């Protein structure tokens, strides 16, 4: 009885002046009440606790940022203090602290600078970003027209090739087993792996994720080929740039192990989220055909119907409706509702609350995208909400699919280009039509991971 009383006393105790929020029940916290949509559950406390609250999951207290103002204050204005990632023994053992997504401290800061610099250099290469994306979009169209297939699988192949091209300068045939090995390297979750409810399950899933044997051979093949053909006077892709720096830099930040985990992180980040965004965009085009008609009209007016008129990023400024459509897809179908957790790197004060060092922090992006105080009828898909009275596009700081601050997506410009050029490239001469053998895809979510992706569906692409 004494031990039980002591446990319950400790259970109810929290750090002094810690953000308020539900404790749930002993040992489990809020897990039995949250259901499968944790972001919705946490948003339900917004009126009671405001933008900064906490909740307990298992034995751990978490802080949740439930509105844009709190997210911006923490991740941007106090970015250094909120730039860490939660510690995981399994992740540390498997990666030895390498990579970038879950790296911390000097390694993360150093690799972040390197990735941003390398991506900037690649955008100025002989094969421009636009050309690579357009070529791959044409292969996607041809593949769908020739043999059909599940949209999510075909888009993953497209995105894997886009990513592979930027990282290694290599493109795979869609039937190549090496490409299949890369796209099979799919994370089964992010938040669940870090915060999950049962530690044994977390470690088993994480081990499977990071040691997928099918992914290792093509990765080492890419690295070996680059080492043999490296030309310091002609650095063509991301791996070339890293290998060149590896010869010049000393220390642990430019090693073969770091490169392997960095490439793995960039592959996962470059494939999964954009694949989900493109998938939801196609679902929206099929469910709201009037949107496709308006995009067709804009393409005809700005890019033109002639074959030699190829979409490029300079067209984006002149195409407000397509930009509004893409922004509304991001808002309407939030892919990562709680994003990857952050961790406080030092004791700090946020909105008067004391948050101790090491506290994990979530950002409720889903609620930012669906807050009725800022979005009229947020449950409805309406691209026009992102256009002003003159039909000009309104970039919204309340649509944050790539997050904000120090840990925001490093490849945001590439992702935006992939989305814009995909829709412009496909819809220039074609239209998406419902596959009569499948029917109209609905808004059902694939439960295979924590990213919100559409369930598998097929589609027809017909010439206009």
Task: Enter the tokens of residue 453.
Answer: 């992706």
DSSP class of 361: E
| Contact predicate 262/168, CB 8 Å | no
- What is the biggest distance separating any 2 CA atoms in the chain, rounded to whole angstroms? 82
Query: Does the annotation list 409 as a binding residue?
Result: yes
- Which of 97, 119, 110, 115 shows the shortest CA–CA distance to 210? 97
- Which of 323, 202, 232, 223 shows the shortest CA–CA distance to 267? 223
Strand partners, 446: 453
For 391, other C-beta atoms within 10 Å of its C-beta total 10
DSSP class of 396: -
Task: Enter the tokens of residue 53.
Answer: 């609250």
Which residue matches tokens 């990857």?
A: 340
In whole angstroms, give the CA distance from residue 419 to residue 301.
Answer: 20
Q: What are phi and psi of 157, to 5 degrees?
A: -65, -45
**Angle, vertex CA 86, rays to CA 81 and CA 92, nearest 5:** 125
In whole angstroms, give the CA distance from residue 403 to residue 418.
Answer: 18
In whole angstroms, give the CA distance from residue 55 to residue 422.
Answer: 40
Q: Computed from CA positions of residues 112, 113, 114, 117, in that sequence, does the dihedral angle turn out positive or negative? A: positive
Task: Enter the tokens of residue 321.
Answer: 């409706």
- Which of 79, 71, 16 shows the shortest CA–CA distance to 39? 71
In whole angstroms, give the CA distance from residue 306 to residue 36.
Answer: 48
First to last CA, the chain: 76
Which residue matches tokens 């895809």?
A: 441
360-363 and 453-454 strand pairing = unpaired
In whole angstroms, give the CA distance from residue 225 to residue 359.
Answer: 43
Contacts of 261 (CB under 8 A, 6+ apart): 95, 98, 99, 100
Known binding-site residues for heme equal: 409
Binding-site residues sit at 409
């Amino acid at each position: 009885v004494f031990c039980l009383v002591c446990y319950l006393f400790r259970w109810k105790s929290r750090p002094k002046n810690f953000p308020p929020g539900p404790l749930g029940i002993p040992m489990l916290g809020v897990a039995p009440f949250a259901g499968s949509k944790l972001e919705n559950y946490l948003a339900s406390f917004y009126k009671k606790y405001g933008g900064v609250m906490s909740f307990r999951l298992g034995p751990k207290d978490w802080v949740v940022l439930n509105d844009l103002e709190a997210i911006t204050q923490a991740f941007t204005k106090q970015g250094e203090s909120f730039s860490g990632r939660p510690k995981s023994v399994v992740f540390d053992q498997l990666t030895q602290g390498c990579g970038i997504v879950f790296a911390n401290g000097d390694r993360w800061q150093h690799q972040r600078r390197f990735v941003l610099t390398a991506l900037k250099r690649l955008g100025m290469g002989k094969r421009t970003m636009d050309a690579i994306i357009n070529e791959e979009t044409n292969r996607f169209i041809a593949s769908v027209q020739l043999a059909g297939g599940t949209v999510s699988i075909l888009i993953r192949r497209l995105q894997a090739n886009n990513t592979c091209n930027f990282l290694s300068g290599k493109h795979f045939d869609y039937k190549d087993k090496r490409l299949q090995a890369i796209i099979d390297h799919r994370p089964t979750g992010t938040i669940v792996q870090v915060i999950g409810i049962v530690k044994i399950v977390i470690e088993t899933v994480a081990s499977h994720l990071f040691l997928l044997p099918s992914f290792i051979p093509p990765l080492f093949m890419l690295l070996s080929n680059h080492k043999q053909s490296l030309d310091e006077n002609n650095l063509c892709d991301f791996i070339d740039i890293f290998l060149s720096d590896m010869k010049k830099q000393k220390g642990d930040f430019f090693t073969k192990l770091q490169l392997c985990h960095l490439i793995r992180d960039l592959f996962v980040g470059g494939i999964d989220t954009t694949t989900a965004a493109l998938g939801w965009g196609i679902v929206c085009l099929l469910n709201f055909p009037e949107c496709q008609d308006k995009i067709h009209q804009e393409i005809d007016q700005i890019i033109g119907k002639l074959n030699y008129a190829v979409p490029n990023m300079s067209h984006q400024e002149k195409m407000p409706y397509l930009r509004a459509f893409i922004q509304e897809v991001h808002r309407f179908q939030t892919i990562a509702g709680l994003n990857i957790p952050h961790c406080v790197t030092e004791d700090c004060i946020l909105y008067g609350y004391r948050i101790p060092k090491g506290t994990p922090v979530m950002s409720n992006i889903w609620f930012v995208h669906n807050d009725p105080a800022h979005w009229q009828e947020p449950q409805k898909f309406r691209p026009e909400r992102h256009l002003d009275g003159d039909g000009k596009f309104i970039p919204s700081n309340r649509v944050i699919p790539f997050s904000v601050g120090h840990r925001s997506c490093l490849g945001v410009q590439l992702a935006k280009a992939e989305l814009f050029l995909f829709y412009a490239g496909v819809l220039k001469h074609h239209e998406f039509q419902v596959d009569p053998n499948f029917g109209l895809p609905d808004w059902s979510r694939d439960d295979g991971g924590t990213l919100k992706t559409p369930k598998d569906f097929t589609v027809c692409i017909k010439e206009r």
